[in-house]
Amino acid sequence: MKKRYSLDPENPGQAQKIESTLLEGLEPPQPSEQQRATIRAQLFQRIHASAAAESPRVTIRGNQGKWRKILPGMRAKTLDQHNRAFLPDIEPGASLPMHCHHEDEECIVLRGSANLGDLKVNTGDYHMARAGSRHGKISSASGALLYLRGTRNAA
């Protein structure tokens, strides 16, 4: 059994009195009705702010969403129309023709490898095509899954 610490082991009665007096200051406060109403209002404001912060989140599971065919050997799934994020899935040998970018476009290779014109990108690689740029056709000899996201320039 653990021995309890005493403020004054030689005078336990006096120590108990001092301890009780000190602990009185630690008793939970009893807020007034006005204080309770203010605390409740602040708590609900925080709850609503937290819920509002969560609402813009978008989650699409791997087995969710609709794949649509965009070209022979190439399909895509839209992840977020507002932020122009989607997954193109390129079958081996398929390609997308040369095109110009009207906004910055970020690309991350999630699986496989692809050629973006003369540039070869592999799993884990990141590529940014700036607005106004163009590159040769996008193709894949072995197949690839890409993450693409268009972003508007701040300028």
- Which pLDDT tens digit goes with each residue over 10-68? 777 777 777 777 776 666 778 889 988 998 899 888 888 877 776 677 788 888 889 99
* 74 and 47 belong to one structural domain: no
In a domain, 48, yes or no: yes
Q: How far apart are CA 6 and CA 40, in angstroms?
A: 40
Place of tokens 């087995």: 63
Domain identity same for 49 and 94: no
For 25, the domain range is 12-54
CA distances from 145 to 15, 49, 112, 137 (A): 73, 37, 7, 16
pTM for this model (two decimals): 0.61
In 3D space, the residue among 100, 104, 138, 101 whose CA is nearest the CA of residue 119 turns out to be: 138
Residues 140 and 100 in one domain: yes
